[in-house]
Amino acid sequence: YARDYATRVPFAEHLGFRIDHLEDGLARLSCELRPEMTNSWGMAHGGVIATLLDVTLCMAARTQHPGSKGIMTIDMSISFIGPGTSPLRAEGRVMKPGKNTIFAEAEVRNGEGALVAKAIGTLRARYPEK
């Protein structure tokens, strides 16, 4: 069910995000950079990195909430650390699960394996109304 979630996020699909691994509380995603995804230096645009972090956080949370309508980001803080070169690889982990509110962290590494950015987020699971 969580794997199907990615196909319902048109923006992530547009950017070419791939789900590489999902397990309980953990998600690994990746993407190849295209020219339109870069900044004036030819590196990953910060918006692409932020979106990859956001989707990765939500996918990690989604593994623990398969019956939800979706996961919403309430708050996300990002530290940009190094240059984003292709391919970008992200890993997200749930730090503290909850019935509705989830705390998670994620990081993105570049093609050489160097740290590009880290994020911490507060997420909310949305369930169908009864």
pLDDT in tens, 1-23: 444 554 478 899 999 999 999 99
Instruction: Return the amino acid letter for 92.
Output: G
Place of tokens 């190849």: 32
Helical ranges in 37-94 per DSSP H: 46-62
Across the range 46-71, mean pLDDT stands at 94
Note whether 19 and 27 are within 8 A (CB).
yes
CA–CA dist 84, 38 (Å, integer): 9
pLDDT at 51: 98
Lowest-confidence range among 37-46, 63-72, 109-118? Answer: 63-72
- Give the helix, strand, coil percentages of the chain, each rounded to 5: 25, 40, 35
**Greatest extent of the chain over all pairs of C-alpha atoms, in Å:** 50
Q: Quote the tokens at residue 7.
A: 């196909």
Share of the chain above pLDDT 70, in %: 93
What number of CA atoms fall less than 13 Å from residue 108's CA on the CB side? Answer: 34
The reported pLDDT for the residue numbered 78 is 98
Residues in the chain: 130
* The pLDDT of residue 4: 58
The reported pLDDT for the residue numbered 129 is 79
